[in-house]
Structure 1
Amino acid sequence: MSESFIHLNQGVQLNISAQYIKDFSFENPRAPTSLKLQHLQPSIKVNVDVEANKIYNNEEIFEVILKIRANAKTLESPLFLADLSYAGIFKLQKIEKTDTKTLLLTECPRLLFPFAREILANTTINGGFPPLVIQPIDFSAMYQQKIQSP
């Protein structure tokens, strides 16, 4: 397993030691009928969440999980449901404890996102649909919204 180091502001280091699919599900419940409905514009909902957990009883090593759930339907008929939990192991060095949560829930998922997006695009293609292209996500804004919600 190779490690990558990213140097952030003020000497903070973010070390990525691994990334992997933690859980993945793709359902095409109405196939092959759903494949005939592709001439209709589907309604696609994408929900994104991030969680971070300390692992190995170590103050510096965390598992960050990017969860993406995509649901497509047309005329109230389900086309597909994709549910992906894509994770990475991150080691944070030279960081203030007060900044840890912000970094874990903004910078880490930003690094994981392109890989998760590619998995979902390839899976929808392999499921018989056009690629699901998820637009870039502003994880900082998502985090701010989360901490401001009651």
Structure 2
Amino acid sequence: MSEKHEEIVASQSELQHEFNIQRIYTKDISYEAPSAPDIFHIEWSPQVDLNLHTDSKKLSEDTYEVILQITVTVKLKDKTAFLVEIKQAGIFTLKNFTTDQIDPMLGSFCPNILFPYARELISETVCRGSFPPLYLAPINFDAFYHEQLQQRKNAS
């Protein structure tokens, strides 16, 4: 193998993307059932309102914390059955990514990893509150990320 070829191979391997999950954790959780126990006697035909927010911050050179915040409010008629708010977080390492690549990773890829943990915790919390399980549908975080980008552009 020629010296130039070895240099090219070495430089390519140095620039390979490296993505690692360092930790996934629940940062905050809140549950309220303000209409209990009266709400248990009302026929279960819930109106579900889901609010979603993502945030991230740089912890060190290649390490980021990503927070997925989900608030679910479930009402029966005009009464709030329950309210669950969760902040599911993760610490991720992203090495050899360009600035243009990091933003979608933090705004879409990482929240996609966090969502199943948040969904499970929300469902478990709701069941412990003596309500039927709440199964949240999958979320297209790519579309959510692009929607947030568009909102930022429109705001400026």
**TM-score, normalisation: structure 2:** 0.85
Aligned equivalent of 2:104: 102
Aligned equivalent of 2:34: 29
Aligned equivalent of 2:93: 91
Query: RMSD value over aligned CA atoms?
Result: 1.2
- Aligned partner letter, 1:40: W
Aligned equivalent of 1:118: 120
Aligned-partner SS, 2:134: coil
Does residue 1:41 correspond to 2:45, yes or no? yes
Runs of 4+ deviating beyond 6 Å: none
Aligned equivalent of 1:53: 57
Aligned-partner SS, 2:35: coil
**TM-score, normalisation: structure 1:** 0.88
Between Structure 1 and Structure 2, the one with more helix by share is: 2
Point out where structure 2 has 5 or more consecutive residues left out of the alignment: 1-14
Aligned equivalent of 1:62: 64
> How many percent identity over aligned positions?
35
- The CA distance in 2 between the partners of 1:59 and 1:97, in whole Å, is 12
State the 1:13 CA deviation.
2.0
How many aligned residue pairs are there?
A: 138
